[in-house]
Amino acid sequence: MSVPEVLLEKARLASQNAYAPYSEFSVGAAIRWRGGHVSTGANVENASYGLTLCAERVAVVTAASEGHREVEEVALWVESDKAASPCGACLQVLVEFCSDPSAVRLTMASRQGARIETLADLMPQPFRLREPDPERA
Ligand code: THU
C-alpha cells in the first residue's frame, strides 16, 4: 500500500501547531471524511495533565461538531525518531465514526518512517453500544 502523501503532509503540518510544553512531543492528525472533507488536529496539553487532548481526538471532534459522521482515512504524524501509534482512547473515539473499521486505512509516521494498518487491526474489538447504521457507510 502506498503512503497517502497529501494526507500525511497535512498531519505533519498540523503537528507544528501542537501545544506540548510539558511532554515536548508534537503530534498531528489528519482525517478524510466521507464527502472529501479533511480535518486536522494537534495535541493540546494542559498544566493539569489529564486534561490534555490528543491530536486525533482534536481532529475528530472538530469535524464531528461540524456535522461530519463517517471517517474514511486517517494519517498520524509524530515529531519523533520513534514509531508512531495512536493511543487506545483515540482509537475508541475514531471507531465511533467508522461503520467498518476494517475499511479505514490508518497511516502512522514519524522521522523513522511510515506504516499502514487498518483501524480494525489496531482496534479489533471496540466498545459499541449499538451496531453502526449500515446506511451511514
Ligand atoms: N498524544 C497524541 O496526541 N496522540 C496519541 O495518540 C498519543 C499521545 C499526545 C498527548 C501528549 O500531548 C503527548 O502526545 C505525550 O503523551
The CATH number that applies at residue 72 is 3.40.140.10
Which atom number of ligand 1 is nearest to the Cα of residue 89?
6
Q: Which three cell numbers stand for residue 7?
A: 494526507
CB 44 within 8 A of CB 62: no
Q: Which residues are catalytic?
A: 56
Return the number of other C-beta atoms located less than 10 Å from residue 73's C-beta. Answer: 17
Q: Which residues contact 9 (CB under 8 A, 6 or more apart)?
A: none
Residue nearest (by alpha carbon) to ligand 1 atom 4: 54
Question: Residue 57 pLDDT more than 80?
Answer: yes
74 forms beta bridges with 31, 106
| Ligand 1 pocket by Cβ (under 6 Å) | 20, 23, 25, 27, 43, 45, 52, 54-56, 86-87, 90
- Please tell me the total count of domains within the chain: 1
Average pLDDT over residues 70-81: 98
pTM for this predicted structure: 0.96
For residue 86, the ligand 1 atom closest to its alpha carbon is 6
Nearest alpha-carbon partner for 37 in 64, 17, 4, 2:
64
Given a cut of 90, whether residue 135 has pLDDT beyond it is no
> What domain range is 85 assigned to?
3-136
Res. 137 pLDDT band, cuts 50 70 90: low
